Amino acid sequence: MGGLREALDAHVRRLAGTSLSALIAADPERAQAFALRCGPLYVNFARQRYDRAALDALFAIAERADLAGALRRLLEGDIVNPTEARPALHSALRGAVAQSAFALAARAQAVSVQLRMRELVQALAASPVTDIVSIGIGGSDLGPRLVVDALAQPQARFRVHFLSNVDGHAAQRVLAGLDPARTAAVMISKTFTTQETLLNGGIVRDWLGDAERMYAVTAYPQRAEAFGIAPERVLPMWDWVGGRYSLWSAVGFPIALALGMERFEALLEGAAALDAHALQAPLRENLPVWHALTAVWNRNGLQAATQAVLPYDERLRLLPAYLQQLVMESLGKSVRIDGASVAVDTAPVWWGGAGTDTQHSFFQALHQGTQVVPADFIGVRQAAHGFEVNHAALLANLLAQTEALANGQDSEDPHRRYPGNRPSTLLLLDALTPQALGMLIAFYEHSVYLQAVLWQINAFDQFGVELGKQLASRLLPALQGQGQADDPVTQALLEVLRTGE
């Protein structure tokens, strides 16, 4: 860690007085040299605040950390989650990129489950069901919700609705207007003990009248069966797939229902293509490696505490929420794998929203605020609608914002001065297809893993989410008048909730 910090600090000090516009002007080939493409995904790093010498230092760090070997170990199914003694073999769900015995065995299991998914999709398509309620939370909700929102088409066979929050208003809103005689439900929970999912599942089961049109995705099928769901309607999960990496598994059953099995498989193919790129491309031509090194430079070199993700495509409006979990649950760690404290800052706060709406909300702070916020801007070259002027305006705004943040604009009036020198990366998809979206999501997955390798933390556990859930389980009886809280402040708040005083 000390070596990482020292290598970054030397170049940060060297470049401290050099603006982004000066860096670009000094290197006429920068716009092309700092860009990479993999299939439909193009990424340009020219507006990041480093030069070629700093990049050399970053790639030297990548060599010392053996990022190529780390990617190989991940994809071959080595134990990369040591605190839980597990591999993280989500790549096997989408393709046979690695040829280790374990990876091939995992791939065979995944293919078998995909065949079962296809059969269930076909059976539901032959039924009177028109609507699907997907019940899950966290990784069991965010990935399928993102993909369905991005890619579902108006003429789809099923309308898929998502229910995650334990707040009863969420269930009320989702079920309003649906016909229980034409609705089926999917409960998604790895352990099938998740409080929110079980409570919402109970509401939906009662609303349906029974569990005859309920399906489950879980690593504990016996618990789903105890809930009333027949074994033939239960799809498996495995402990070598983490929740936030699970949309490629049977957790993607709602995706297959919303898009059709062929388009779900195209999503997997896009992700597998990025897996192959990550495994095979040299470090300097490797998209997730370059993105991970940029993230570490911004976090530990420039001390950026937050990171914005700004999709300029309404269909990707849920991507910031999806990446919040992927990044912050994976990298929100202060202890290294060996148990020692991390010596540098890890996960920045990820946030954002869809352009151009966000230009009229928080972009003021991005341009003139005191905190410099690195940003990933994401655009799509080809629209799927016929409003050509609108799409041109959207892309013009995308390019304008990246230019304005980088270059700024001087003014004698300090209130109208734009300081610029604010870094961003531009990602472009040729079109928003299932393949392209699969590639984009896998790109971020691999970048996050590589950042964890550089920081020597575990990207695949999430113990930090457990304590609050444990306390909530203990406080539920107290809210129902059956006991008290141990914490005096919590006890006082319980009295306010129970009595209003």
Residues catalogued as catalytic:
329, 360, 469
CA–CA dist 155, 153 (Å, integer): 6
Beta carbons within 8 Å of 324's beta carbon, 6+ residues apart? 350, 351
The candidate with the shortest Cα–Cα distance to 262, out of 125, 137, 146, is 125
Output the CA angle 221-140-191, nearest 5 degrees.
Answer: 35
- For 161-222, give the secondary structure using H, E and C: EEECCCCHHHHHHHHCCCCHHHEEEEEECCCCCCHHHHHHHHHHHHHHCCCCCEEEEECCHH
Instruction: Note whether 377 and 359 are within 8 A (CB).
Output: no
3-class secondary-structure state, position 43: strand
| Length of the chain as a residue count | 501
**CB-count burial class (<10 Å; 0-12, 13-18, 19+) for 409:** exposed
Please provide the DSSP assignment of 211-278 as one string: STTEEEEES-HHHHHHTT--GGGEEE--TTS-GGG-TTTGGGHHHHHHH-HHHHHHHHHHHHHHHHHH
CA angle 446, 448, 452 (to 5 degrees): 115
Sheet with 349-352: list strands edge to edge: 35-38, 41-44, 424-431, 375-382, 306-312, 349-352
Residue 256 is which amino acid?
A
Side chain identity, residue 67: L
Q: Is residue 114 within 8 Å of 135, Cβ to Cβ?
A: no
